[in-house]
Structure 1
Amino acid sequence: MRTRPNKFDYISKKFEFPGGKIESGESPAETVVREIHEELKMNIEVEKEFLVVNHQYPDFGIEMHSFICSTPTRELELSEHISFKWLDANELEALDWAAADILIVDKLIKEIEQ
């Protein structure tokens, strides 16, 4: 999870799962691997698709593809963000999440409760 300033107050400095826009010719899984490396200087492996979220903010819409991923290390380097946290799924509700990310948080919490 990361936070960063944003031109829209309703998502500025809220926690979000890392990621970014799909580039031409990329799959969503390739995008998350590239974005994590660009934003966090971290290498990850996509294990499986988790949830696709379509959310309409007041000024734009977003389609987010989320994945369960693994990494050999928790070491990272922030390049675009002001904060990050490593959390267990049962700690996720404590953060102030961007609205589009809340469905992912809810599904993660439900899966650990089962």
Structure 2
Amino acid sequence: MKIVTAAIIENNGKVLLTRRSRGQALGGRWEFPGGKLEEGESLQQCLEREIQEELSVKIKAGDIFDESVFHYEKGTIRLVAIHAELLQEDIQLSVHDKFDWVEKKLLGTYDFAPADIPIAKKLQESCSDE
């Protein structure tokens, strides 16, 4: 099972989402940015590296928010969502074609990659607690 990290980056009550570029797996679907854990990395190190590679910004990864396991045709992934603080604002996309800052209550209106759906739902539910 592949372990994949996902960043929960919040700013002014909104959450950062990225859309996978057309032509790649799950192209056109939205996700919380992140990527695959490499051998010898902690979950936080993985997330910080992946965000630097994919968005060209530095983050500080924190605590785990939630996890999701999903069985895709090409294998099973365990998606670990981690709270993260954005340390730079100038996002530059490399593997995504769009990013958006979304109010938590509107997360249900986005077409998420399947593994991200349970995390988006939990995040959306958390906004009713605030």
TM, length-normalised to structure 1: 0.89
Aligned length: 112
Partner residue, 1:21: 36
Partner residue, 1:59: 74
Higher helix share: 1
Q: Confirm whether residue 95 of structure 1 aligns to residue 110 of structure 2.
A: yes
Name the CA distance, whole Å, in 1 between partners of 2:103 and 2:118: 17
Name the CA distance, whole Å, in 1 between partners of 2:31 and 2:89: 18
Name the CA distance, whole Å, in 2 between partners of 1:72 and 1:29: 15
The higher-RCO structure (CA 8 Å, 6+ apart) is: 2
Higher strand share: 2
Q: Structure 1: which 4+ aligned runs deviate by more than 6 Å?
A: none
Partner residue, 1:79: 94
- Mark the runs of 5 or more structure 2 residues left unpaired by the alignment: 1-16
CA displacement at 1:6 relative to structure 2: 4.7
Name the CA distance, whole Å, in 2 between partners of 1:59 and 1:6: 16
Deviation digits for residues 63-108 of structure 1 (CA, Å, limit 9, x no counterpart): 1111111113432000111111111211211211111100110110
Q: Report if the CA contact (8 A) 2:57-2:91 is conserved.
A: yes
Q: Letter of the aligned partner of 1:2 in structure 2? A: T
Over the aligned positions, Cα root-mean-square deviation in angstroms equals: 1.5
Name the CA distance, whole Å, in 1 between partners of 2:92 and 2:84: 18
Q: Letter of the aligned partner of 2:121 in structure 1? A: D
Q: Report if the CA contact (8 A) 2:63-2:82 is conserved.
A: yes
TM, length-normalised to structure 2: 0.79
Partner residue, 1:5: 22
CA displacement at 1:58 relative to structure 2: 2.8
Name the CA distance, whole Å, in 2 between partners of 1:26 and 1:43: 17
Q: Percent identity?
A: 30
